[in-house]
């Protein structure tokens, strides 16, 4: 008779997977006292650290030498356009934008025989004041984001500053000879699509026959217009020369491209020199922010995957920028720019956004430090997909081979069954090797693949030779992996942040804490690893207690910061504990069993309270959502839920982890029938392992529902239990036990 627990759990998890198969936190920047009266935000799309180091002139190098530098994640809701990137900066939320969104003009400009004000009035019903700049593509921008999972609203920066009485201006454009491109307006405008003051016409350009499209920014005019702003406030300067060059680059030889880049950086240097001379140097009252709205890889088709950013003045030290959105010195998100400027002017945010306040951390040689960080992250991003594809493919093949061996049973050749045991142990060591690779500087494709394959196979052979039993070897691998993850979390999580199996700043789904990949590995490794290292039923309570500890680590906002992982770990602890109580029998409930029940319920409640009441700057997305709900922002909850559902649906269709999860479910299904009576023997002879497997199975279902990339969390969570279970089946055949 096959135990009933596993078929039920297997059916439930399979149903969840099938049903689903058919995100960044939203937070208000705190209202603080103003620390500055003027901000010059310079947009230089296509800027890159390698080019800065090669082509920068004295003014650019000088201001970067006293700045807080960083690399910025410029991920948007969809696409890679300059319009979406600038709309994201201005909204503080990831946006999608059609090309028409950057069609902006002075209210009195004549466009296609009509005055821009009249076109804008006809499209929006809003009367624009004289001297303003209007976004005639506003309606299309709003409609495009109404269908986005992020549901972003354009104009957060301009609207917040405008209501506080801060003047906002925009100057410059990225036009070429064939089209209009005024993305700076998307950063500076208010919710009506209006910037109160500015100049974006082609009068800010000079005719330069040797420049791309024969046009170049007139740096003297840009600096004069920025200085001539009627009163201090925010000036957005669109330095479009590098963007124009990127569009023109396809017709240039490599030598000419380098020469044009040098000219672009020369003009940028001249612009900074004019601004510094006319407005003044960075100070507590004046801040210069330099930013590429898109990463070089998105502009040029190659290069770094994150964009350069720097801030000088307003008390930012010489060092590296960071924010509570990333919690890593030198790394920010483009959504952090708007809430930082709003708070610096003492304005009240008009609605919640994803970005957090930028802060500076003192550091020597910030330019070189940021450049090295950008290079490292970009190298890891390039290596991530091929390495993980190799690992997942090896994992799937090993499990399928093991399933075939289990199905054949005595008919499987003994050498074949022995080889299966070796593959299972090698796979179980994969997450540990991926975790420690950054500690030895491994982040390129070749080295990462070589160390993963060689170390897994070598360590697997040594471990199996020492332990002899493959199931126990997997248990030891799981225990060591869980311990290594926990130690790194308490040490700041640097390995988790840099590992190819960890969260990627380029993807931008998470910047701190523990990602869903390692979250699943931790829960599965804790449950399996602790269940096999003690003898007797005491291992049940050790396993349940360890899962509780994992839940506390995962749920704490300053450690794992993974609310969905906390729920999944509590589910594992509760399932293991209930099976332990059932085994003890109603008449044999021990004090420890009763304490465990109290700990599960009380711990879940306590961790929820910590999550929901964390300070606004340290809160995870669940804490932010709770405060939004308390403030009547029910739409924020709906937006977050839709975003999570959208990500789950996309990942279920496209990620290789879905195939891994289906493979694990197939393995469980086969083991309920072959070898005959296997689960009954496991329940009788190794009940703590049986309980751990059940806990992980139910926990995987909870992870599927509670996380925005639930299929990833479920797959990695079931990895160690599946490998261990298959190891037991293989040991029966080879060792005869």
Phi, psi dihedral angles at 532 (to 5 degrees): -110, 0
Look at residue 24 in the predicted model and tell me its pLDDT.
32
Residue 536: helix, strand or coil by DSSP? coil
Q: DSSP states of 574-596 as a string?
A: HHHHHHHHHHH-GGG--HHHHHH
Distance CA 728, CA 737 (A): 9
Inter-CA distances, 358 with 37, 205, 401, Å:
17, 33, 51
Look at residue 680 in the predicted model and tell me its pLDDT.
84
Using alpha carbons, select from 224, 166, 217 the residue that is nearest to residue 195: 166
Look at residue 188 in the predicted model and tell me its pLDDT.
96
pLDDT at 627 over 60: no
Look at residue 160 in the predicted model and tell me its pLDDT.
96
Which residues are registered as beta bridge partners of 309?
A: 70, 291
pLDDT range class, residue 603, cuts 50, 70, 90: low
pLDDT at 236 over 90: yes
pLDDT range class, residue 701, cuts 50, 70, 90: confident
Distance CA 570, CA 606 (A): 12
Residue 284: helix, strand or coil by DSSP? coil
**Within a 10 A sphere around the Cβ of 167, how many other Cβ atoms?**
17
The rounded percent of the chain whose pLDDT value lies above 90 is 54
DSSP letter assigned to residue 432: H
Phi, psi dihedral angles at 540 (to 5 degrees): -60, -45
Inter-CA distances, 204 with 195, 226, 580, 689, Å:
17, 11, 75, 72
663, 396 Cβ separation under 8 angstroms: yes
**Stretch 387-416: mean pLDDT:** 87
Indicate the range of 126-130, 338-342, 435-439, 707-711 predicted with least confidence: 707-711
pLDDT at 151 over 90: no
Which residues are registered as beta bridge partners of 43?
A: 238, 291
pLDDT at 421 over 60: yes
The terminus-to-terminus CA distance of the chain in angstroms comes to 20
Q: Which residue has the higher pLDDT, 646 or 273?
A: 273
Q: What angle do CA 161, 29, 552 make, to 5 degrees?
A: 170
pLDDT in tens, 656-684: 888 899 999 999 888 888 777 778 888 88
Distance CA 472, CA 482 (A): 15
Look at residue 737 in the predicted model and tell me its pLDDT.
54
What's the predicted TM-score (pTM) here?
A: 0.84
Nearest 10 degrees: Cα torsion 602, 604, 606, 612: -150
Which residues are registered as beta bridge partners of 360?
A: 321
Distance CA 156, CA 353 (A): 8
In this structure, are strands 233-239 and 286-291 parallel, antiparallel, or unpaired? Answer: unpaired
Written in H, E and C, the secondary structure of 131-168 is CCEEECCHHHHHHHHHCCCCCCCCCHHHHHHHHCCCEE
Residue 426: helix, strand or coil by DSSP? helix
pLDDT at 433 over 90: yes
pLDDT at 297 over 90: yes
In this structure, are strands 114-115 and 110-111 parallel, antiparallel, or unpaired? Answer: antiparallel
Residue 526: helix, strand or coil by DSSP? helix
**Stretch 356-379: mean pLDDT:** 93
Look at residue 11 in the predicted model and tell me its pLDDT.
43
366, 67 Cβ separation under 8 angstroms: yes
Residue 705 tokens read as: 């529902």
In this structure, are strands 286-291 and 38-43 parallel, antiparallel, or unpaired? Answer: parallel
Residue 316: helix, strand or coil by DSSP? strand
Residues comprising the chain, all counted: 737
Inter-CA distances, 616 with 327, 357, 554, Å:
14, 11, 19
pLDDT at 194 over 90: yes
**Stretch 641-667: mean pLDDT:** 74
């Amino acid at each position: 008779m096959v135990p009933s627990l596993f078929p039920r759990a297997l059916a439930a998890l399979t149903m969840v997977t099938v049903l689903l198969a058919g995100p960044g936190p939203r937070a208000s920047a705190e209202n603080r006292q103003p620390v500055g009266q003027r901000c010059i935000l310079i947009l230089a799309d296509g800027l890159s650290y390698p080019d800065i180091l090669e082509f920068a002139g004295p003014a650019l190098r000088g201001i970067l030498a006293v700045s807080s530098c960083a690399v910025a994640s410029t991920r948007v809701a969809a696409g890679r356009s300059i319009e979406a990137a600038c709309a994201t900066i201005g909204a503080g939320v990831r946006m999608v934008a059609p090309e028409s969104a950057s069609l902006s003009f002075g209210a009195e400009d004549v466009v296609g025989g009509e005055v821009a004000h009249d076109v804008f009035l006809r499209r929006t019903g809003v009367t624009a004041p004289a001297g303003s700049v209007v976004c005639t593509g506003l309606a299309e921008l709003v409609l495009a984001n109404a269908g986005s999972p992020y549901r972003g609203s354009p104009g957060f920066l301009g609207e917040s500053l405008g209501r506080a009485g801060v003047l906002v201006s925009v100057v410059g454009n990225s036009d070429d000879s064939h089209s209009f491109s005024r993305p700076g307006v998307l950063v500076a405008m208010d919710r009506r699509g209006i910037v109160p003051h500015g100049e974006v016409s082609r009068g800010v350009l000079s005719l330069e026959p040797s420049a791309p499209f024969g046009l170049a920014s007139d740096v003297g005019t840009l600096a004069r217009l920025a200085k001539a702003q009627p009163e201090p406030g925010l000036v957005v300067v669109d330095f479009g020369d590098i963007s124009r060059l990127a569009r023109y680059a396809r017709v240039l030889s490599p030598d000419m491209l380098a020469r044009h880049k040098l000219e672009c950086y020369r003009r940028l240097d001249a612009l900074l020199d004019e601004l510094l001379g006319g407005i003044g140097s960075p100070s507590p009252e004046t801040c210069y922010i330099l930013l590429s709205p898109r990463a070089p890889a998105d502009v040029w088709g190659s290069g770094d995957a994150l964009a350069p950013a720097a801030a000088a003045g307003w008390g930012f030290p010489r060092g590296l920028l960071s924010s509570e959105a990333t919690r890593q010195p030198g790394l920010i998100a483009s959504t952090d720019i708007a809430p930082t400027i709003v708070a610096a002017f003492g304005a009240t945010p008009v609605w919640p956004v994803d970005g957090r306040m930028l802060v500076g951390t003192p550091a020597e040689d910030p330019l070189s430090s940021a450049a090295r960080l950008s290079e490292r992250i970009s190298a890891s991003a390039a290596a991530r997909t091929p390495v993980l594809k190799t690992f997942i493919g090896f994992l799937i093949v090993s499990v399928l081979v093991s399933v075939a061996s289990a199905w054949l049973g005595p008919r499987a050749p003994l050498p074949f069954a022995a080889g299966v045991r070796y593959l299972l142990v090698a796979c179980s060591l994969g997450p540990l090797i991926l975790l420690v690779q950054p500690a030895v500087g491994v982040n390129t494709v070749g080295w990462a693949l070589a160390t993963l394959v060689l170390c897994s196979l070598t360590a697997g052979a040594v471990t199996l030779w020492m332990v002899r039993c493959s199931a126990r070897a997997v248990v030891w691998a799981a225990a060591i992996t869980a311990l290594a993850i926990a130690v790194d979390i308490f040490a700041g999580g640097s390995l988790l942040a840099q590992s190819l199996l960890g969260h990627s700043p380029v993807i931008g789904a998470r910047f701190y804490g523990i990602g869903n990949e390692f979250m699943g590995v931790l829960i599965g490794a804790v449950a399996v690893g602790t269940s096999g290292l003690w003898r007797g039923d005491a291992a049940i309570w050790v396993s349940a207690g360890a899962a509780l500890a994992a839940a506390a680590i995962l749920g704490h906002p300053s450690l794992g910061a993974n609310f969905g992982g906390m729920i999944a770990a509590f589910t594992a602890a509760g399932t293991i504990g209930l099976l332990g109580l059932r085994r003890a029998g109603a008449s044999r409930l021990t004090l420890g069993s009763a304490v465990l029940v109290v700990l599960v319920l009380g711990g879940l409640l306590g961790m929820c309270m910590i999550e929901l009441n964390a300070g606004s700057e340290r809160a995870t997305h669940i804490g932010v959502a709770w405060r939004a709900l308390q403030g009547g922002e029910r739409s924020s909850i709906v937006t977050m839920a839709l975003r999570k559902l959208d990500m789950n649906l996309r990942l279920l269709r496209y990620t290789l982890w879905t195939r891994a999860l289906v493979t694990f479910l197939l393995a469980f299904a086969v083991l309920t029938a072959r070898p005959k009576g296997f689960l009954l023997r496991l329940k009788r002879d190794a009940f703590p392992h049986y309980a751990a497997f059940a806990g992980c199975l139910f926990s995987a279902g909870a992870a599927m529902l509670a996380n925005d990339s639930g299929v990833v969390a479920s797959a990695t969570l079931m990895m160690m239990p599946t490998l261990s279970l298959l190891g037991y089946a293989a040991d029966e055949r080879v060792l005869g036990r």
